[in-house]
Amino acid sequence: MPVAAVFLPEGCLANLIAASEGPLSFEDLFTKGSKLSDLFKLEHFYNYKVDETRVRDIVAFWESKAILKVVENGTA
């Protein structure tokens, strides 16, 4: 099984963040990331669910590595 399938949600979120031209609210990131991930997961046999906790964990990881900066009380 390709490793890409395991990290599909992270890849979708990374592409959304990279394509944004400014601050992106967590709600927009979660909604768009979930839809994009759901679309691509049909290409793999890896069973996973993108939930709010996982997305928040991903964002917190990127923030701890100084790749992202969370502002406005964690909403953007």
pLDDT classification of 50: cutoffs 50, 70, 90:
confident
- Which pTM does this prediction carry? 0.67
Q: Are 53 and 73 in contact (CB under 8 A)?
A: no
Asked whether residue 74 carries a pLDDT value surpassing 70, the answer given is: no
CA distance 12 to 37: 6
CA distance 33 to 39: 10
Tell me: the pLDDT tens digits for 5-44?
A: 677 788 888 888 888 888 888 888 889 988 888 888 777 7
